[in-house]
């Protein structure tokens, strides 16, 4: 069972990215068509550029919220806070826009440590914020920037949350649901978290 669901995380990312992009494109295009009677075509081009900017900002926000979810749920699980970094420098160092590093607690006698809640933290914040932003979108009353941003953040929040919830290997969903069933993999993951925390503190 585990082998059947633990492959192709990169391929899954691609599929979800395409699905989110298509959904966002269709909804923004529909919104822009509704505005076509109110704005000239030059202004519509500005609206399209504003939509792309809102999409980029919403993506950054959802990535930060994902890592913030790991931080909050990690603290609730007894993890020690090490660092929370964001920005171009981090992107240049490790290819990540935002990263939260937590130090896991010592395993118990059976080699287990609290992993599920910590792993689900980012998923929960993405999904909850996605629903909140979509609610804002539906009640925004046609306010241009608010409509475009809340639509983008809502779609990305739900999309990223569902993507990371899938139990494919190396995803948060896989770690939460399946890693506790594999003692060797669980210990290896604990060591990896500890090593990352040590490197960050150095």
pLDDT at residue 119 greater than cutoff 70: yes
46-50, 53-57, 108-112: which is most confident: 53-57
Q: What is the greatest pairwise CA distance in the chain? A: 69
pLDDT at residue 90 greater than cutoff 80: yes
pLDDT at residue 4 greater than cutoff 70: no
pTM for the predicted model, two decimal places: 0.89
Distance CA(114)–CA(79), nearest Å, equals: 9
- The residues with which 101 forms a beta bridge, in sequence order, are 83
pLDDT of residue 9: 55
Q: What is the mean pLDDT of the chain?
A: 88
pLDDT tens, position by position, 150-160: 999 999 999 99
- Tokens 């609290």 correspond to what residue? 114
pLDDT at residue 189 greater than cutoff 70: yes
* 195, 112 contact by CB (below 8 A): no
pLDDT tens, position by position, 6-50: 444 577 778 888 988 899 999 988 888 888 777 777 788 888 899
pLDDT band at 146 (very low <50, low <70, confident <90, very high): very high
- Tokens 């109110």 correspond to what residue? 38
């Amino acid at each position: 069972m585990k082998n059947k669901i633990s492959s192709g995380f990169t391929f899954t990312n691609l599929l979800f990215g395409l699905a989110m992009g298509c959904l966002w494109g269709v909804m923004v295009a529909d919104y822009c068509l509704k505005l076509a009677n109110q704005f000239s075509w030059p202004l519509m081009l500005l609206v399209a550029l504003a939509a792309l900017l809102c999409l980029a900002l919403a993506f950054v926000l959802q990535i930060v919220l994902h890592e913030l979810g790991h931080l909050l749920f990690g603290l609730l699980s007894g993890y020690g806070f090490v660092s929370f970094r964001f920005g171009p420098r981090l992107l240049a160092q490790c290819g990540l826009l935002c990263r939260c590093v937590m130090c896991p607690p010592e395993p118990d006698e059976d080699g287990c440590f609290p992993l599920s809640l910590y792993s689900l933290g980012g998923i929960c914040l993405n999904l909850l914020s996605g629903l909140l932003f979509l609610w804002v979108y539906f009640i925004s009353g046609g306010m241009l920037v608010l409509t475009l941003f809340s639509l983008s953040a809502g779609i990305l929040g739900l999309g990223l949350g569902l993507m990371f919830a899938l139990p494919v290997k190396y995803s948060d969903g896989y770690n939460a649901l399946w890693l506790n069933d594999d003692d060797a993999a669980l210990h290896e993951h604990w060591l990896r978290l500890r090593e990352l925390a040590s490197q960050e503190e150095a």
